[in-house]
């Protein structure tokens, strides 16, 4: 067997190396549970409701199709017994029989077409509907949920799980057909000749029994094959991504040995699965042979005694060929249902995630609502805010701070001090536990989210670019903005000339989250995006730590333009920004400990002046003190 | 600023066979031959598989004959074409014989099919295994200059889906072709002996269904590829939306995002609907044609039975034959499709497997001589291949780094700093000039010995989904715990790891601990210093580490690696101002060089940068002496 992994040059038998390739894949998505979950099915049916009439049509077509399939051997039988062998045998009857045959197969063709088409379309529609419902819901659920759920996991809901439900719908409808076919064959054969029918049908329970024993064993082997396959693929993918590090650290030989072991496992598992698949072939063929032999001996004997028409024997031979198909599909149906139920549970779990940030019924539009007084227009205020992500673990405790219209307030503090939470609250990503967040003097919970977003803009620390052109990225959701506005924004942040120098200019397509652009350029694009959105208030998580001094100069210039004439809360990492702010708020463990201008705070001898003394180029890496 | 958008030549020409993505399915005989040759290298298995296939077809061919004979016998007719009528008892005995033969033929056919399937599958799986290993090996030794121009997703597709495409053809395609040939050939011989006209009618379904199925399959394949393209677009849109959910929320862009989703989703739905329509009409039509032909056989054959030209049993034999041929004939389309798929998949795989790594040991490559790690750049010039550039990335680079000393390299973005790091580790080869380590040109040394002598710590190092311990020991997997802890200690990570519940066994990544940017860099440093290389290069390796921690790391490394050659590339001057020599790079050239004091006194670009950074810090920079 070539499957045995060979020892690489690097391999030393003892002790084993501290090495693996590919992640240890978790099986939590693969767990097989119940095959029928009434809750899931009920929810599922609601999504089917719009397609009720199409489904009825499809099921009707299936019934007709199956009836015609059952009729074919009967027509052949009639042709033989009446037109060829009967007392009135002759061309006229033969033509009649053939005409009936053509009619039956034509009806069968139409029914088949309708059924396949309707089932395919409805299942497809369901797939798209479910995916859209989930996606739309994810646009609204709380960020608390999004924060703790990995994108990859959600993607597998949006793709794999909806696919499992699509498969379930299709196979359920075909299962109805299979069941009808099986029952039909049993009824027809028994009514053609109870004795011959009864004897021949003995293979049906035998087939069921064999598959019942075989399936659980085989399924384990199939799962093993699938698991080893995905482990091998995971190792390959990891190597593709990490190949530079691998080459630099000379891990090629050891990795190859480890990969060989995984690929070898997969080979063995696949071969074992193949054994399980193929062991069924001679068993089924033998049972089929037994059925045919039974028809020949018993049916032939009866025909010889003239107790049975010869056409019936031929019809039986036709039916025998069809026994196995429905039984095979029906036994496979069980795993399809198991998969669908667990997929359904995961899908409806997502759809049931509560939307906790909602517009109040009497929410007002910030653009139209009069500010309480002129001083409030453009002001951001946190009033005695207590907030956290997990119950009993407040991140902010009784925080009050205010940025007056046009003022730039810098938030400074170590990781975990609550800066980012303040920014998130001002945009109502979350609702506060206690206290209130006020924009223009209005509690953010009393205004519409859409008008809040038109008033409060946000630039994140990690500039996120979407695949698409540079133009689309700058304009983003401000669909009302025209080309001039986009160019003006790019010019303001100092990007216009650079963009123009590209062969495709603004139409240059960015790949994989802005790959090809430097971090600084990506940040400038996100600044331009905020300029186009042109909100009165800006929340800004300032540039990342690892930007070099040259790029930083550009960023600082753009920042000054961005902040001009706006109220701004800036989570500040750099001294340049901090010193340029009108006011600095120093946070520690969720509380404001100092507030004032740079000069005031530097002279005060408090936490800020200590930080300032330590000569950090950036403030954001100061790790939180161990609790 | 250097703007480097994705150039159109990002994909390499050799990989330009866009057959798979553009929806064209070209056949390539050479590729198919090569795959077939690979299969026949497993001679014994293939011989058994083909023998089993032929036997399975032959036993299968017996069945309709026996059925026909049984029908005649049941009417009391025996012999060739029911030549003579006999007594019921004789007929009954004959029926018993026929039944036993029928049973034996079925059992034998089943056993032969099992062998055929299993051996076919085995050969396919073994070839897939071999291809996977070959691909993996190639992947690990191909050079960076090639990888730069290929998408990682594309490579993963080749290693996964393309291997499967080749496997399916070997596992089932080849043998089904044999099966179909024997069934149709043998069947034709038998049927034409009975009645030529009837045989012609019955067999007419073979070309009709075969051609229709093939055409439909190729169309379906194109529709499928088109759907895949739409789906991957939809996937990207959804993924970006979820990953960038904060931006979406910040701009209240959910309506915009939904319209984007709907637009692409609608397109995918239309392509999918087209695919369903194609699939449904082709499968149902094939069934219809089959039954129409069967009806004709019944009609013409029935007339012949009435005329006494053939017996009822022979008519049954015709019908039985059509019954067994139905599936294999429908599979002609499947086969044509799998040939097309194997041909493109194989082509794409071989394009990678046949590449010759540009950085590989020459015939007379020798290991580097033993030494302490004297690194010398002699008039080095270098340009990245396939990138449009008006000037070389590096030109005329000259410097020497001795053991126990440190060289600092600084310069604006795009000045070529990181390229120097890549050249030292021989990720690329120089265009002109030479790099020597302990007196030997690294192009004459074995790649392994160069990479053993040089450790490069990147700004963004790849973390593997494994434990912290595995990640630190990535370049020295046989290290003991004490060494691992020492490295982690020097990179100021030990205390943090110790506080984790699973300490060094904690997993990194999605299912384990998520590290901050600074922690990731410190992990990369621990990993880089563990193998104890002669030369160690830090390529902006502490950009995300705060100044105090960086200083501690520097001190720890300085004492642990006092006799090593150290190259530090950075844009934060505190990281390298205490170096023995600092090179200031601009547009690929060294424009200033000397110690910190010399360069500050020079009052050039370095001094300019120094002022910029110290003014930013708000007070005079710490003395270089104090820092080291």
Regarding whether A210 and A184 lie in a shared domain, the answer is no
Q: B461 with B508: CB under 8 angstroms?
A: no
Answer yes or no: is B460 within a domain. Answer: yes
CA dist list (Å): B121 to A263, A275, A279, B110, B157: 16, 10, 13, 16, 22
The last residue of a domain, from among B358, B388, B420: B358
Distance CA A119, CA A127 (A): 12
Interface contact flag, A304 B76, Cβ < 8 Å: yes
Answer yes or no: is B591 within a domain. Answer: yes
State whether residue B30 sits within 8 Å of chain A by CB: no
What's the rounded mean pLDDT across residues B121-147?
91
> Given this model, what pLDDT does residue B258 score?
92
3-state SS, residue A382? strand
Residue that wins the pLDDT comparison between B413 and A216 = A216
CA dist list (Å): A19 to A258, A449, B472, B484, B507: 8, 50, 10, 14, 13
CA dist list (Å): B240 to A128, A535, B246, B265, B511: 19, 24, 11, 15, 21
Give residue B18's pLDDT band: very low, low, confident or very high (50, 70, 90): very low
> How much of chain B, in percent, has pLDDT values that exceed 90?
40
Regarding whether B109 and B161 lie in a shared domain, the answer is yes
Residue that wins the pLDDT comparison between A581 and A194 = A194
Interface contact flag, B160 A236, Cβ < 8 Å: yes
* Best A22, A107, A247, A580 residue to mutate vs chain B (most B CBs within 10 Å): A247
Residue that wins the pLDDT comparison between A2 and A578 = A578
Q: Mind listing the pLDDT tens digit for each residue in B398-457? A: 999 999 899 999 988 778 888 899 899 888 899 999 999 999 999 999 988 998 899 999
Q: B450 with B442: CB under 8 angstroms?
A: yes
Interface contact flag, A549 B612, Cβ < 8 Å: yes
Measured between beta carbons, the chain A residues lying within 8 angstroms of B461 are: 245
The values of phi and psi at residue A243, to 5°, are: -65, -30
Regarding whether A279 and A158 lie in a shared domain, the answer is no
Distance CA B277, CA A121 (A): 9
CA dist list (Å): B610 to B179, B419, B465, B540: 79, 23, 39, 17
- State yes or no: pLDDT of B42 exceeds 90: yes
What's the rounded mean pLDDT across residues B231-253?
85
- State yes or no: pLDDT of A26 exceeds 60: no
Distance CA A175, CA A95 (A): 36
Regarding whether B509 and B447 lie in a shared domain, the answer is yes
Give residue A117's pLDDT band: very low, low, confident or very high (50, 70, 90): very high
> Given this model, what pLDDT does residue A618 score?
46
Regarding whether A100 and A76 lie in a shared domain, the answer is yes
State whether residue B240 sits within 8 Å of chain A by CB: yes
Q: Count Cβ atoms below 10 Å from residue B47 Cβ, excluding itself.
A: 12
The values of phi and psi at residue A91, to 5°, are: -60, -35
Q: Mind listing the pLDDT tens digit for each residue in A59-88? A: 999 999 999 999 999 999 999 998 888 788
What is B30-86 written as a DSSP string?
HHHHHHHHHHHTSHHHHHHHHHHHHHHHHHHHHHHHHHHHHHHHHTTEESGGG-EE-
Regarding whether B188 and B201 lie in a shared domain, the answer is no
Answer yes or no: is A54 within a domain. Answer: yes
The torsion of the CA quartet B2, B3, B7, B12, rounded to 10 degrees, works out to 40
> Given this model, what pLDDT does residue B434 score?
93
Taken as a whole, chain B contains a residue count of 628
> Which residue pairs, CB below 8 angstroms and at least 24 apart, start in B476-479?
B476/B530, B476/B531, B476/B532, B477/A17, B477/A18, B477/A19, B477/A251, B477/A254, B478/A12, B478/A15, B478/A17, B478/A18, B479/A18, B479/B530
Answer yes or no: is B449 within a domain. Answer: yes
Distance CA B188, CA B176 (A): 18
Regarding whether A81 and A50 lie in a shared domain, the answer is yes
What's the rounded mean pLDDT across residues A205-222?
88
Interface of B with A in 531-560 (CB under 8 A): 531, 540, 543-549
The values of phi and psi at residue B388, to 5°, are: -75, 120
Regarding whether B248 and B184 lie in a shared domain, the answer is no
Mean pLDDT over all residues of chain A? 84
Mean pLDDT over all residues of chain B? 85
Answer yes or no: is A21 within a domain. Answer: no
> Given this model, what pLDDT does residue B298 score?
93
Q: Please report where in the chains the tokens 């090809």 appear, as a residue.
A: A516
Contacts of A287 (CB under 8 A, 6+ apart): A203, A206, A207, A210, A324
Kindly state the DSSP code that residue A139 receives in the 8-state scheme: T
Answer yes or no: is A624 within a domain. Answer: no
Regarding whether A204 and A126 lie in a shared domain, the answer is no
Answer yes or no: is B22 within a domain. Answer: no
Contacts of A21 (CB under 8 A, 6+ apart): A235, A238, A239, A255, A258, A259, A262
Regarding whether B203 and B190 lie in a shared domain, the answer is no
> Given this model, what pLDDT does residue A74 score?
94
Give residue B81's pLDDT band: very low, low, confident or very high (50, 70, 90): low
The torsion of the CA quartet B547, B548, B549, B555, rounded to 10 degrees, works out to 100
The last residue of a domain, from among B289, B323, B358: B358
3-state SS, residue B513? strand
> Given this model, what pLDDT does residue A510 score?
79
- State yes or no: pLDDT of A550 exceeds 90: no
Measured between beta carbons, the chain A residues lying within 8 angstroms of B152 are: 240-241
Distance CA A39, CA B556 (A): 61
Lowest-pLDDT choice from A187-201, A205-219, B190-204: A205-219
What domain range includes position A118?
33-193+332-356
Answer yes or no: is A324 within a domain. Answer: no
* Closest C-alpha to B395, from B406, B371, B379, B376: B379
A455 CA to chain B: closest CA distance, Å? Answer: 10
Interface of B with A in 135-164 (CB under 8 A): 135-137, 139-141, 144, 147, 152, 155-156, 159-160
Distance CA A494, CA B1 (A): 11
* Best B98, B247, B525 residue to mutate vs chain A (most A CBs within 10 Å): B247
Considering its fold, how many domains does chain A have in total?
3
Regarding whether B394 and B348 lie in a shared domain, the answer is no
Give residue B618's pLDDT band: very low, low, confident or very high (50, 70, 90): very low
Q: Could you tell me the CATH number of the domain that includes residue A446?
A: 3.40.50.300
Regarding whether A544 and A472 lie in a shared domain, the answer is yes
> Given this model, what pLDDT does residue A513 score?
53
SS (H, E, C) B382-407: ECCCCCCCCCCCEEEEEEEECCCCEE
Answer yes or no: is B369 within a domain. Answer: no
> Which residue pairs, CB below 8 angstroms and at least 24 apart, start in A391-398?
A394/A433, A394/A590, A395/A421, A395/A590, A396/A421, A396/A422, A396/A425, A396/A590, A396/A591, A397/A589, A397/A590, A397/A591, A398/A434, A398/A435, A398/A591
> How much of chain B, in percent, has pLDDT values that exceed 70?
91
Regarding whether A539 and A411 lie in a shared domain, the answer is yes
Give residue B196's pLDDT band: very low, low, confident or very high (50, 70, 90): very high
Answer yes or no: is A147 within a domain. Answer: yes
- State yes or no: pLDDT of B626 exceeds 60: no
The values of phi and psi at residue A431, to 5°, are: -105, 145
> Given this model, what pLDDT does residue B397 score?
92
Q: Mind listing the pLDDT tens digit for each residue in B354-369? A: 988 888 888 888 998 9
> Given this model, what pLDDT does residue B628 score?
32
Q: Please report where in the chains the tokens 């696949």 appear, as a residue.
A: A270
Regarding whether B68 and B113 lie in a shared domain, the answer is yes
Measured between beta carbons, the chain B residues lying within 8 angstroms of A277 are: 117
Distance CA B250, CA A460 (A): 9
> Given this model, what pLDDT does residue A601 score?
83
* Best B73, B119, B136 residue to mutate vs chain A (most A CBs within 10 Å): B136
Q: A461 with A542: CB under 8 angstroms?
A: yes
- State yes or no: pLDDT of A268 exceeds 90: yes
Considering its fold, how many domains does chain B have in total?
3
Kindly state the DSSP code that residue A535 receives in the 8-state scheme: -
Regarding whether B546 and B436 lie in a shared domain, the answer is yes
> Given this model, what pLDDT does residue B114 score?
95
SS (H, E, C) A160-228: HHHHHHHHHHHHHHHHHHHHHHHHHHHHHHHHHCHHHHHHHHCHHHHHHHHHHHHHHHHHHHHHHHHHH
> Given this model, what pLDDT does residue B398 score?
92
Regarding whether B604 and B531 lie in a shared domain, the answer is yes
Lowest-pLDDT choice from A85-89, A121-125, B207-211, B453-457: A85-89
> Given this model, what pLDDT does residue A572 score?
78
- State yes or no: pLDDT of A149 exceeds 80: no
Regarding whether A283 and A415 lie in a shared domain, the answer is no
- State yes or no: pLDDT of B5 exceeds 60: no
> Given this model, what pLDDT does residue B8 score?
31
H-type alpha helices, B204-311: 205-243, 245-250, 254-307
> Given this model, what pLDDT does residue B301 score?
94
Nearest CB among A236, A450, A479 relative to B136 is that of: A236
Answer yes or no: is A389 within a domain. Answer: yes
The last residue of a domain, from among B299, B330, B358: B358
Regarding whether A500 and A401 lie in a shared domain, the answer is yes
A98 CA to chain B: closest CA distance, Å? Answer: 6
- State yes or no: pLDDT of B479 exceeds 80: yes
Contacts of A64 (CB under 8 A, 6+ apart): A107, A108, A111
What's the rounded mean pLDDT across residues A310-336?
85
Answer yes or no: is B5 within a domain. Answer: no
Q: A575 with A602: CB under 8 angstroms?
A: no
Distance CA B203, CA B183 (A): 11
Distance CA B463, CA A246 (A): 11
Q: Could you tell me the CATH number of the domain that includes residue A90?
A: 1.20.1560.10
> Given this model, what pLDDT does residue B25 score?
44
- ipTM entry: 0.84
Regarding whether B381 and B304 lie in a shared domain, the answer is no
> Given this model, what pLDDT does residue B357 score?
83
Regarding whether A417 and A337 lie in a shared domain, the answer is no
Interface of B with A in 183-212 (CB under 8 A): none
Answer yes or no: is B516 within a domain. Answer: yes
Distance CA A120, CA B284 (A): 13
A622: its two tokens? 């100061």
Interface contact flag, B99 A293, Cβ < 8 Å: yes
Q: A204 with A211: CB under 8 angstroms?
A: no
Nearest CB among A19, A554, A615 relative to B477 is that of: A19
Q: B482 with B494: CB under 8 angstroms?
A: no
Q: Could you tell me the CATH number of the domain that includes residue B583?
A: 3.40.50.300
Distance CA A159, CA B223 (A): 19
> How much of chain A, in percent, has pLDDT values that exceed 90?
29
Distance CA B516, CA B496 (A): 12
Q: Please report where in the chains the tokens 């003239």 appear, as a residue.
A: A306
Exposure string over A373-382, b if 16+ CB within 10 A, otherwise e = eeebebbbbb
Answer yes or no: is A13 within a domain. Answer: no
Nearest CB among A271, A310, A618 relative to B74 is that of: A310
* Closest C-alpha to A242, from B561, B162, B464: B464
Distance CA A395, CA A590 (A): 5
What is A402-447 written as a DSSP string?
EE-TT-EEEEEE-TTSSHHHHHHHHTTSS--SEEEEEETTEEGGGB
What domain range includes position B522?
375-619
- State yes or no: pLDDT of B190 exceeds 90: yes
Regarding whether A161 and A199 lie in a shared domain, the answer is no
Regarding whether B203 and B147 lie in a shared domain, the answer is no
Distance CA A232, CA A20 (A): 12
Nearest CB among A454, A613, A621 relative to B546 is that of: A621
- State yes or no: pLDDT of A24 exceeds 70: no
> Given this model, what pLDDT does residue A125 score?
92
Contacts of A417 (CB under 8 A, 6+ apart): A587, A588, A589, A590, A624
- State yes or no: pLDDT of B621 exceeds 50: no
Regarding whether B253 and B141 lie in a shared domain, the answer is no
Give residue B574's pLDDT band: very low, low, confident or very high (50, 70, 90): confident
Answer yes or no: is B627 within a domain. Answer: no
Interface of B with A in 362-401 (CB under 8 A): none
Residue that wins the pLDDT comparison between A9 and B586 = B586
- Cis bond leading into B320, ω under 30°? no
- Considering Cα of B253, then B254, then B259, then B261, what sign does the dihedral take? positive
A299 CA to chain B: closest CA distance, Å? Answer: 8
> Given this model, what pLDDT does residue A429 score?
86
- State yes or no: pLDDT of A385 exceeds 80: yes
- State yes or no: pLDDT of B622 exceeds 50: no
Kindly state the DSSP code that residue A296 receives in the 8-state scheme: I
What is B473-488 written as a DSSP string?
GGG-TT--HHHHHHHH
- State yes or no: pLDDT of B297 exceeds 90: yes
Query: In whole angstroms, what separates CA B541 from the centre of its chain?
Result: 30
Residue that wins the pLDDT comparison between B481 and A147 = B481
Regarding whether A171 and A254 lie in a shared domain, the answer is no
Sheet holding B432-437, edge to edge: B394-401, B375-382, B432-437, B440-441
Answer yes or no: is A19 within a domain. Answer: no
């Amino acid at each position: 067997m070539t499957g045995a992994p060979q020892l690489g040059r690097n391999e030393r038998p003892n002790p084993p190396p501290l090495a693996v390739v590919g992640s240890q894949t978790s099986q939590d998505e693969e767990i097989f549970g119940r095959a029928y979950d009434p809750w899931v099915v009920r929810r599922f049916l609601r999504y089917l409701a719009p397609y009720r009439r199409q489904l009825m049509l499809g099921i009707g077509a299936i019934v007709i199709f199956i009836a015609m399939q059952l009729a074919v051997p009967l027509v052949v039988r009639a042709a033989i017994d009446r037109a060829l062998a009967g007392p009135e045998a002759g061309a006229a009857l033969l033509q009649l029989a053939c005409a009936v045959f053509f009619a039956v197969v034509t009806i069968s063709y139409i029914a088949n077409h309708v059924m396949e088409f309707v089932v395919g379309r409805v299942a497809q529609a369901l797939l798209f509907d479910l995916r859209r419902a989930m996606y739309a819901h994810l646009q609204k659920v709380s960020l608390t949920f999004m924060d703790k759920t990995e994108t990859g996991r959600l993607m597998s809901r949006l793709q794999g799980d909806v696919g499992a439900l699509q498969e379930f719908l299709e196979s359920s409808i075909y299962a109805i057909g299979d069941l009808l076919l099986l029952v039909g064959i049993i009824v027809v054969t028994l009514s053609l000749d109870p004795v011959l029918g009864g004897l021949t049908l003995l293979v049906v329970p035998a087939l069921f029994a064999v598959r019942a024993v075989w399936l659980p064993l085989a399924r384990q082997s199939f799962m093993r094959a699938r698991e080893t396959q995905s482990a091998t693929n995971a190792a390959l993918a990891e190597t593709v991504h990490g190949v530079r590090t691998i080459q630099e650290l000379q891990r090629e030989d050891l990795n190859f040995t480890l990969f060989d072991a995984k690929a070898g496992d997969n080979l063995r598992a696949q071969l074992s699965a193949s054994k399980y698949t193929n062991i069924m072939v001679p068993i089924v063929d033998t049972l089929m042979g037994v059925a045919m032999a039974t028809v020949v001996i018993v049916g032939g004997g009866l025909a010889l005694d003239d107790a049975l028409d010869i056409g019936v024997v031929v019809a039986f031979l036709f039916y025998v060929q069809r026994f196995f198909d429905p039984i095979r599909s029906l036994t496979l149906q069980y795993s399809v249902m198991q998969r669908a139920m667990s997929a359904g549970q995961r899908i409806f779990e997502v759809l049931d995630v509560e939307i906790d940030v909602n517009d109040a019924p009497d929410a007002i539009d910030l653009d139209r609502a009069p500010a309480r007084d002129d001083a409030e227009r453009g002001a951001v205020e946190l009033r005695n805010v207590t907030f956290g992500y997990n119950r009993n673990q407040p991140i902010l405790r009784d925080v009050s701070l205010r940025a007056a219209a046009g003022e730039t307030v810098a938030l400074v503090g170590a990781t975990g001090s609550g800066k980012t939470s303040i920014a998130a609250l001002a945009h109502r990503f979350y609702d506060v536990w206690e206290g209130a967040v006020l924009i223009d003097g209005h509690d953010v919970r009393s205004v519409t989210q859409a008008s809040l977003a038109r008033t409060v803009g946000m630039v994140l620390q990690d500039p996120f670019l979407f695949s698409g052109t540079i133009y689309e990225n700058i304009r983003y959701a401000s669909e009302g903005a025209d080309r001039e506005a986009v160019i003006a924004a790019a010019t303001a942040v100092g990007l216009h000339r650079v963009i123009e120098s590209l062969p495709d200019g603004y139409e240059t397509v960015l790949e994989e989250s802005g790959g090809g652009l430097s971090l600084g350029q990506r940040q400038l694009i996100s600044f331009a995006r905020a300029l186009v959105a042109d909100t009165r208030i800006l929340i800004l998580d300032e540039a990342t730590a690892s930007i070099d001094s040259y790029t930083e100069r550009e960023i600082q210039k753009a920042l000054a333009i961005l902040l001009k004439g706006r109220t701004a809360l800036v989570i500040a990492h750099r001294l340049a920004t901090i010193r340029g702010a009108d006011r600095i708020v120093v946070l520690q463990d969720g509380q404001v400990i100092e507030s004032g201008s740079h000069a005031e705070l530097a002279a005060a001898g408090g936490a800020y002046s200590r930080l300032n003394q330590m000569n950090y180029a950036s403030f954001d890496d100061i790790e939180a003190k161990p609790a | 600023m250097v703007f480097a958008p994705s150039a159109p030549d990002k994909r390499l020409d050799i990989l330009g066979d866009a057959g798979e993505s553009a929806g064209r399915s070209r056949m390539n005989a050479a590729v198919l031959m090569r795959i077939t040759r690979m299969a026949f290298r497993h001679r014994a298995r293939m011989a058994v598989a083909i023998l089993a296939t032929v036997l399975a077809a032959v036993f299968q061919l017996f069945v309709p004959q026996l059925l026909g004979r049984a029908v005649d016998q049941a009417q009391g007719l025996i012999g060739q074409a029911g030549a003579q009528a006999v007594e019921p008892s004789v007929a009954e005995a004959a029926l018993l014989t026929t039944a036993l033969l029928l049973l034996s033929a079925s059992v034998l056919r089943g056993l032969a099919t099992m062998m055929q399937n299993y051996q076919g599958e085995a050969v396919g799986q073994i070839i897939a295994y071999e291809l996977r290993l070959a691909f993996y090996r190639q992947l690990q030794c191909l050079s960076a200059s090639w990888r730069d121009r290929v998408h990682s997703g594309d490579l993963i597709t080749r290693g996964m889906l393309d291997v499967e495409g080749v496997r399916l053809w070997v596992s089932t395609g080849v043998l089904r072709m044999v099966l179909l040939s024997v069934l149709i050939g043998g069947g034709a011989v038998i049927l034409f002996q009975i009645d030529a006209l009837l045989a012609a009618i019955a067999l007419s379904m073979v070309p009709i269904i075969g051609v229709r199925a093939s055409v439909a399959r190729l169309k379906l394949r194109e529709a499928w590829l088109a759907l895949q393209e739409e789906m991957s677009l939809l996937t990207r849109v959804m993924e970006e939306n979820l990953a960038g959910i904060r931006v979406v929320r910040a701009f209240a862009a959910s309506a915009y995002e939904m319209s984007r989703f709907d637009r692409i989703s609608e397109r995918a739905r239309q392509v999918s609907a087209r695919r369903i329509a194609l699939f449904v009409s082709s499968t149902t039509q094939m069934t219809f044609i089959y039954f129409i032909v069967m009806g004709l056989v019944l009609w013409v054959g029935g007339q012949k039975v009435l005329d006494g030209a053939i017996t009822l049993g022979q008519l049954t034999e015709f019908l039985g034959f059509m019954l067994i041929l139905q599936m294999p004939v429908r599979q002609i389309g499947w086969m044509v499709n799998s040939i097309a798929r194997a041909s493109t998949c194989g082509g794409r795989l071989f394009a990678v497997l046949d590449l010759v790594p540009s950085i590989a040991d020459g015939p007379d490559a020798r290991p580097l001589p033993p030494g302490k790690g004297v690194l010398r750049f002699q008039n080095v010039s270098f340009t990245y291949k396939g990138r449009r550039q008006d000037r070389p990335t590096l030109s005329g680079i000259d410097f020497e780094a001795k053991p126990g000393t440190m060289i600092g390299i600084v310069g604006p973005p795009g000045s070529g700093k990181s390229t120097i790091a890549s050249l030292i580790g021989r990720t690329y080869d120089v265009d002109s000039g030479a790099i020597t380590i302990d007196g030997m040109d690294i192009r004459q040394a074995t790649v392994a010995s160069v990479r053993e002598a040089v450790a490069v710590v990147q700004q963004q190092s790849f973390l593997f989904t494994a434990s912290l311990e595995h990640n630190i020991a990535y370049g020295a997997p046989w290290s003991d715990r004490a060494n691992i802890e020492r490295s982690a200690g020097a990179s100021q990570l030990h205390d943090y790891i110790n506080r984790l519940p699973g300490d060094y066994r904690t997993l990194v990544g999605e299912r384990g601990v998520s590290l901050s940017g600074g922690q990731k860099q410190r992990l990369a440093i621990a990993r880089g210093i563990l193998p104890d290389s002669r030369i160690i290069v830090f390529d902006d390796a502490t950009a995300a580490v705060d100044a105090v921690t960086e200083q501690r790391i520097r001190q720890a490394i300085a004492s642990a690696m006092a006799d090593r050659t150290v190259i530090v590339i950075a844009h934060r001057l505190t990281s390298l101002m205490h170096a023995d020599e600092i090179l200031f790079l601009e547009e690929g050239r060294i424009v200033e060089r000397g110690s910190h004091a010399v360069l500050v006194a020079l009052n050039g670009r370095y001094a300019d940068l120094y002022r910029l950074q110290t003014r930013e810090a708000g007070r005079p920079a710490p003395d270089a002496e104090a820092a080291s």
